[in-house]
Structure 1
Amino acid sequence: MSEPLHSPEAPSQRARPRRLLRLVNQREAARVSRLLRAEVVGGVIVMVAAVVGFAAANSPIADGYFALRDTRIGPEPLHLDLSVGQWASDGLLAIFFFMVGLELKREFVAGELSRFSTAIVPVAAAFGGVAVPALIYVAFTAGSPAAHGWAIPTATDIAFAVAVLGLIAPRIPPALRMFLLTLAVVDDLIAISIIAVFYTAGVQLLPLLASLVPITVYAFIVRRFPQWFARSGWGPWLILLPIGIVAWALFHASGIHATIVGVLLAFLVPVSGAGGTQLAEVFERRFRPLSTGIAVPVFAFFAAGVASGGESRFPFDPIALGIMVGLVAGKPIGITLSTWLLTRFTRAELDESVRWRELVGVGALAGVGFTVALLVADLSFADAADADTARLAVMAGSVVAVAVAAALLVRRPRSRTR
């Protein structure tokens, strides 16, 4: 990110620092604004679903709620006789990960992550925001089997975080909003990689190789006819969806978490094509209501259903302490420290509209971990008590992170008198 030392430009131009966290162009700002509005609505829906699920698990209808969650449906010969809760986490979340993959593809090809100078800040911040919470969790659980859940406090829930940001700090600089969005996108990519590498028990090669057939067919037709799929209202549902379901089923049978196939299929969708067709953007607009309005809320409804008086050892178990401290303290420390190191050891500085206090607040808001954090909690523990402890810790830590972020981000009115 630094420029050549020997430049023919004037000394004042040579010494000019590179501004971090600033919007690049008006079109990108407009796109981010649309996406943020959609995430705010989705985040509110998910919040409501999570509260209803938690209330149902701690109410007189708790037995019916847990019976519904544990009801098994699906064809047993295909090893798809899953519980309703598993269908929500393994099946519906594949739609959510498909949307994440579309946004990742868009950012890498034509967005903030396509330029090194603008990508370095959120990428470095995301890695810092993953490493520090993981180290904090391991410090609490070192030497015990519970250390396997080290990735739980590393994930940021983009819908929750953006929704809370819109509620508590609607007038913060647009550059910080874009920073949070891009940070969360990179965070999701890291989380996806962690799930694929560290939370796959064993891989069955035959179904994994077989999944290449529908994935290849999908790639061919979606790249061969992007304009037709962009214009057609029924084509994606009648052609692409069945192919995607076959690929999902084969991935599930292979032992790799089936939500990963959503990201793979999204990466195959062209961002731009003949005639300027942006199929990825069309799919994002068309399928986002399905993700934010159905898939993620249903998952949240079942994932948040933890009986507070059940088998969990919340809040003083090392699992709970590691998750909560990782989310509340580890996230802002990792994100802020990474950004500070960039400004300290390079010729870069924050944009004049961004305050360090607000940057720390955005880092704290990144501690709102829900969707992916709860998914990793399910994958980390076979013991029900450990899983319930982790879920409660994720929810409690997220609430505390919101409180910390609000204290840092809410701007006090400036006095009119000097």
Structure 2
Amino acid sequence: MTLPKNRPFRPLIGHGSYAEALRVGEILRKETVGGALLVAAAAIAIIWANSPAAESYFALRDFKVGYEPWHLQLSLGAWAADGLLAVFFFLVGLELKREFVAGDLRQPSKAAVPVAAAVGGVVVPAAIFAALNWGSAEAVRGWAVPTATDIAFAVAVLAVIGSHLPTALRLFLLTLAVVDDLIAIAIIAIFYTSEIHAVPLLLTLVPVAVYAFLAQRYRRFFGLNPAAAWLILLPIGVVAWALLHASGIHATMAGVVLGFTIPVLHGKANAEPEAGPGLAEVFEHRFRPFSAGVAVPLFAFFSAGVAIGGLEGLAAVASDPVALGIVAGLVLGKPVGIVATTWLMARFTRLRLDPSLKWVDLFGMGLLAGIGFTVSLLVAELAFGADSAYNDHAKVAILAASLAAALLAALVLTGRNRHYRTVEAEERVDANLDGIPDVYQREG
């Protein structure tokens, strides 16, 4: 393929704006604790579910509370998946809107590569899973399980092992994960909604409209008064969530929709990205600790607990095409899909890999994207049902694949991090020498 010579090459992965670089650093610091709590909650659930006191774990998970006439008498596990996880998706909605309004995704040239890579990172794992489970209608319903990236878990690992990796590379992972979340949201809404009830769905528009009006009209008030969001916006959001739950669409989607109604930029200069932080950023600062410290760990606690059944149970998982498809999709399909799509962008467009980066860096990020914890667990329950043997095998496979992806990514990226740390040290030495007169350099 011949490209016009007068068209300049652009870096395949740009360095991003200074504001984006600061945001990357802040997210890395925040998600480290959240990722650790996520892993701890899942570990406690697995140990408890396979201990002599396993019955008490499942009794707790299946204990029902709520108001039955409104179809809200749910188990604690369901409340965690449908209710608490809506907080996580609310933050996803905030992040998505921020990226499209004020982040690098508003610029097509910067958005093209991570968007394409995210699509490749979804299509290839889904194809691998479908190929291994073709012929079983029930099993193939889980094709979307290995397509998701757990941004909290992945970013937590990156924060530990990638302190010296280029900001452009870390921003690439964050942007890819954000787009991945958007695709996961679309998949859940389209493919895992079996029946839609029109009346409650239409009624959902009423509280959403009220919520959007208040957030837009009184953005300064809610920004300056932390309690106002809890006393005014939260009850309206709960009504929207309950109506969407009654409609048949997974209720976590209410969090995404409400997140999109929050203004990103400040005041009347809403069209200018430089106008300063808006209510979305304020809400993200306020609610991310609750999401990362309470909502997501509790979901992991109630979802990750599965009775493995000793060596026989592990053997059954290892021979199940569902489990094999999930492991192969996350550990192999994610990096292959991401790197291959990025290579195609470099091969057939004017985009080129930044000279400071190597393809092995992208491969390491692709492995990191294979950590598919939170959303993968949710999709598995939606695809197979809580009582299905496939669901239990899928959970074990998700945990094993996420752990394997994290370890492989750490193996690759730790070496690359060491390389970039050496480069930084050499650059600092050169910079210091540049500031010393030549006569002293010669004498030294």
User: In the aligned structure 2, how far is the partner of 1:24 from the partner of 1:185?
Assistant: 15
Cα deviation 1:282-318 (Å, max 9, x = unaligned): 0000110110010000001111101110878312101
TM-score, normalised by the number of residues in structure 1: 0.94
Partner residue of 1:318 out of 317, 321, 324? 321
Indicate if the aligned counterparts of 1:204 and 1:253 stay in contact, CA closer than 8 A: yes
> What is the aligned-residue identity percentage?
57
User: In the aligned structure 1, how far is the partner of 2:49 from the partner of 2:161?
Assistant: 29
Deviation at 1:170, TM superposition (A): 2.4
Other-structure match for 1:399: 403
Indicate if the aligned counterparts of 1:140 and 1:322 stay in contact, CA closer than 8 A: yes
User: In the aligned structure 2, how far is the partner of 1:236 from the partner of 1:292?
Assistant: 19
The reply to whether residue 248 of structure 1 matches residue 251 of structure 2 is no
Structure 1 residue runs without a partner (length 5+): 6-10
TM-score, normalised by the number of residues in structure 2: 0.89
Partner residue of 2:413 out of 399, 409, 418? 409
Other-structure match for 2:227: 234
Cα deviation 1:48-98 (Å, max 9, x = unaligned): 111111111111221111100000000000000000000000000000000
Other-structure match for 1:295: 295
Other-structure match for 1:283: 283
Partner of 2:195: helix, strand, or coil? coil
Cα deviation 1:255-307 (Å, max 9, x = unaligned): 00000010000000011132656000000001101100100000011111011
Partner of 2:318: helix, strand, or coil? coil
User: In the aligned structure 2, how far is the partner of 1:391 from the partner of 1:289?
Assistant: 26
User: In the aligned structure 2, how far is the partner of 1:362 from the partner of 1:271?
Assistant: 28
Indicate if the aligned counterparts of 1:196 and 1:260 stay in contact, CA closer than 8 A: yes
Greater gyration radius: 2
The reply to whether residue 141 of structure 1 matches residue 133 of structure 2 is yes
User: In the aligned structure 1, how far is the partner of 2:399 from the partner of 2:33?
Assistant: 20
Deviation at 1:15, TM superposition (A): 5.4
User: In the aligned structure 2, how far is the partner of 1:272 from the partner of 1:375?
Assistant: 32
The reply to whether residue 42 of structure 1 matches residue 34 of structure 2 is yes
User: In the aligned structure 1, how far is the partner of 2:85 from the partner of 2:160?
Assistant: 25
Indicate if the aligned counterparts of 2:92 and 2:181 stay in contact, CA closer than 8 A: yes
Other-structure match for 1:357: 360
Indicate if the aligned counterparts of 2:16 and 2:168 stay in contact, CA closer than 8 A: no
Other-structure match for 1:330: 333
Other-structure match for 1:114: 106
Structure 2 residue runs without a partner (length 5+): 269-274, 424-444
User: In the aligned structure 1, how far is the partner of 2:162 from the partner of 2:16?
Assistant: 22
Amino acid across the alignment from 1:392: V
Matches within 5 A, 1:146-165: 146-165=139-158
The number of equivalent residue pairs is: 407
The reply to whether residue 167 of structure 1 matches residue 167 of structure 2 is no
Deviation at 1:179, TM superposition (A): 0.4
Q: Which stretch has the larger CA shift, 301-310 or 80-89? A: 301-310
User: In the aligned structure 2, how far is the partner of 1:410 from the partner of 1:233?
Assistant: 40
Indicate if the aligned counterparts of 1:169 and 1:411 stay in contact, CA closer than 8 A: no
Indicate if the aligned counterparts of 2:151 and 2:174 stay in contact, CA closer than 8 A: yes
Deviation at 1:352, TM superposition (A): 1.8
User: In the aligned structure 1, how far is the partner of 2:409 from the partner of 2:26?
Assistant: 23
User: In the aligned structure 2, how far is the partner of 1:33 from the partner of 1:352?
Assistant: 22
Other-structure match for 2:394: 390
Deviation at 1:47, TM superposition (A): 1.0
Partner of 2:415: helix, strand, or coil? coil
